[in-house]
Amino acid sequence: MESKFDKLRSYLAEALDLLYVTGLLSWDQQTNMPPNGAEARGQITGTIERLLHLRASSPELGQMLEDLKSEVNNLDPDSDDARLYKVTLREYERRTKVPPELVTELAETIGLAYSSWEKAKAENDFPTFKPFLEKIVELRRTYAKLFAPYDHIYDPLLAEFEPGMKTADVKEIFNALRPQQVELIREITAKPQVDDAPLTQHFDPKKQWDFGVEVITKFGYDWKSGRLDEVVHPFTIGIGKGDTRITTRILPEYIGSGLFSTMHECGHALYDMGASEKRARTILGQIRSLGLHESQSRLYENLVGRSLPFWQHFYPRLQSLFPSQLGNVSLEAFYKGINKVEPSLIRIEADEATYNLHIMLRLELEISLMEGSLEVVDLPEAWNARMKEYLGVTPTSDSEGVLQDVHWSHGYFGYFSTYALGNLISLQWWEKIYQDIPDLDDQFRRGEFGALLTWLRENIHYHGAKFDAQELVQKITGSKIDPAPYMRYLRNKYTDIYGL
């Protein structure tokens, strides 16, 4: 006879199948869909999202959870069944506050908004995108208000991407981090600048692509369970166990863009690929914490991909692909070039020392939009003003300013802070990894990345959505999310590069 938990898992599996369908529709829209398909795609996605929402908030599911309540009380709180109940109940309670009509309207609006954003960015035309963004902001405000009373209107949006954390928690972390990063940047800018000119030559896109494939294959990316495509704004998407797809963006005149975006997205994919087989097609197999997810992408992009031991192995290969561009550039010069600190306009190409300031800027703008103290029509001006205040640079176009990121066209208000949280978490992992694998640098010099992946799989990937970010960080490192390891890393690294 089927147990109550088996019945719950079977019910949730069908809901997850609908979620995977929306993922496949989104991947196709961003990689293959013809432009005129945007309206129909939005309608199709709206229908699927509505069906998913109805299943995930149904009275039938509510009754299953009620029937399990007494049984859960007798379980180990960290057992899979207890955690399955906890995560499902939290998602159920969230869903039941939201009317299906709002879910459908948001999905249909996003279907049109993404295509509008893509065109607006290409043509530097914010007014074209403005009405779609205004509608999304209106819908997200409406959504957030359904969860009142709350400590802050932004809390329900943040909870979608970082369960267990509130706006006040993120602000507290960022307020501790910001002055330290600003001071470090001030010290760096007082020193002679490193030269990154060798990175801004013409690099054949096909060779860039092939090199990126070589790198992530060594990292452990499973090509039988994934694929790589090129898009305007890179992303990763999982479409069920055994299908995790990544994308990248290649710039012919700058080798760093494609290289580091490919490594970044590979980090996301390895996380998805590493979730426990026994939790596949369950809600615990879905990694809900974007802070944990971003800790993996930023770890592979920066802590591995911008490290000296990594390039001691890979740089001769890169030189062989681009002899005229890099043949006379020393490893030291190249390493310093890819780690140059300079306030810049584009978040995804920002250096490690300034990156978090890009995130803080976006978080503050999102909060202001949700509070109603900032309207979409004033967003470009507010963006440019904060860029000048925080980073000392001002966009010359909206394409390199307010239109640069894809997230708002997808309705992802609440997402951005997880990038910075991921940075901090990645260094907490990193310090623990070096305690457990003290010869990691030597392994990288030999082009060996298996021990790293095994550690991540056993300690992080395996758990999926079983633990919130703060819980898992506490279990593995002994403390909650803490900026101190990140600042130690930045100061040590840039002391060596800039002679601080």
* This prediction's pTM: 0.92
What is the structure's pLDDT at 479?
94
Domain count, the chain: 2
Enclosing H/E stretch for 229 = strand 228-230
What is the structure's pLDDT at 38?
87
Residues 341 and 458 in one domain: yes
Contacts of residue 359, Cβ cutoff 8 Å, sequence gap at least 6: 347, 416, 417, 419, 420
Q: Name the residue among 250, 236, 286 with its Cα closest to residue 84.
A: 286
Domain boundary residue, one of 111, 129, 147: 129
Residues 99 and 189 in one domain: no
| pLDDT at 340 > cutoff 70 | yes
| pLDDT at 1 > cutoff 60 | no
236 bridge partner residues: 246
- 151 occurs within a structural domain: no
Question: Are the C-beta atoms of 358 and 347 separated by less than 8 Å?
Answer: yes
Whether 265 is catalytic is yes
Residues 79 and 201 in one domain: no
- 25 occurs within a structural domain: yes
Q: Tell me which amino acid residue 271 is.
A: Y
Residues 415 and 489 in one domain: yes
Residues 111 and 193 in one domain: no
Residues 282 and 190 in one domain: yes
Tens digit of pLDDT for each residue in 142-179?
999 999 999 999 999 999 999 989 999 999 999 999 99
Question: Are the C-beta atoms of 386 and 392 separated by less than 8 Å?
Answer: no
Structural domain that includes position 482: 167-498
Gap between the Cα atoms of 328 and 325, Å rounded: 8
Gap between the Cα atoms of 113 and 109, Å rounded: 6
Question: Are the C-beta atoms of 247 and 265 separated by less than 8 Å?
Answer: yes
Tell me the mean pLDDT in the region 59-88: 93
CATH code for position 223: 1.10.1370.30
Q: Tell me which amino acid residue 30 is.
A: Q
Specify burial of residue 448 (Cβ count, 10 A radius: 0-12, 13-18, 19+): middle
Q: Name the residue among 299, 307, 338 with its Cα closest to residue 419.
A: 299
Residues 227 and 305 in one domain: yes
Domain boundary residue, one of 81, 99, 129: 129
What is the structure's pLDDT at 277?
77
- 150 occurs within a structural domain: no
What is the structure's pLDDT at 230?
94
Domain boundary residue, one of 129, 152, 175: 129
What is the structure's pLDDT at 288?
78
| pLDDT at 445 > cutoff 90 | yes
- 139 occurs within a structural domain: no
Q: For all residues of the chain together, what is the average pLDDT?
A: 94
Q: Which of 118, 162, 265, 352 is catalytic?
A: 265
Residues 407 and 296 in one domain: yes
Tens digit of pLDDT for each residue in 389-411?
999 999 999 999 999 999 999 99
Gap between the Cα atoms of 455 and 296, Å rounded: 12
Tens digit of pLDDT for each residue in 272-317?
999 877 777 888 888 779 999 999 999 999 999 999 999 999 999 9
DSSP string, 422-460: HHHHHHHHHHHHHHH-TTHHHHHHTT--HHHHHHHHHHT
- 248 occurs within a structural domain: yes
Residues 399 and 340 in one domain: yes
What is the structure's pLDDT at 278?
77
| pLDDT at 363 > cutoff 70 | yes
Residues 493 and 418 in one domain: yes
Q: What's the token pair of residue 84? A: 């399955």
Tell me the mean pLDDT in the region 220-248: 94
Q: Name the residue among 241, 245, 209 with its Cα closest to residue 226.
A: 245
What is the structure's pLDDT at 284?
87
Tell me the mean pLDDT in the region 68-90: 92
Please report how the helices 352-371 and 379-391 are oriented relative to each other, as an axis angle in degrees rounded to 10: 150
- 152 occurs within a structural domain: no
Question: Are the C-beta atoms of 81 and 5 separated by less than 8 Å?
Answer: yes
Residues 467 and 343 in one domain: yes
Q: What's the token pair of residue 472? A: 């898992």
Tell me the mean pLDDT in the region 197-225: 97
Q: Name the residue among 217, 213, 212 with its Cα closest to residue 449.
A: 217
Instruction: Count Cβ atoms below 10 Å from residue 481 Cβ, excluding itself.
Output: 21
Instruction: Count Cβ atoms below 10 Å from residue 253 Cβ, excluding itself.
Output: 10
Residues 319 and 460 in one domain: yes
- 155 occurs within a structural domain: no
Tens digit of pLDDT for each residue in 44-62?
998 999 999 999 999 999 9
- 136 occurs within a structural domain: no
Determine if residue 96 is left, alpha or beta; phi over 0 gives left, psi from -120 to 50 gives alpha, anything else beta.
alpha
Q: What percent of the chain has pLDDT over 90?
A: 92
Helices of type H across 220-330: 255-273, 290-298, 308-321, 323-326
Tens digit of pLDDT for each residue in 88-135?
999 999 999 999 999 999 999 998 999 999 999 999 999 999 999 999
Enclosing H/E stretch for 342 = none
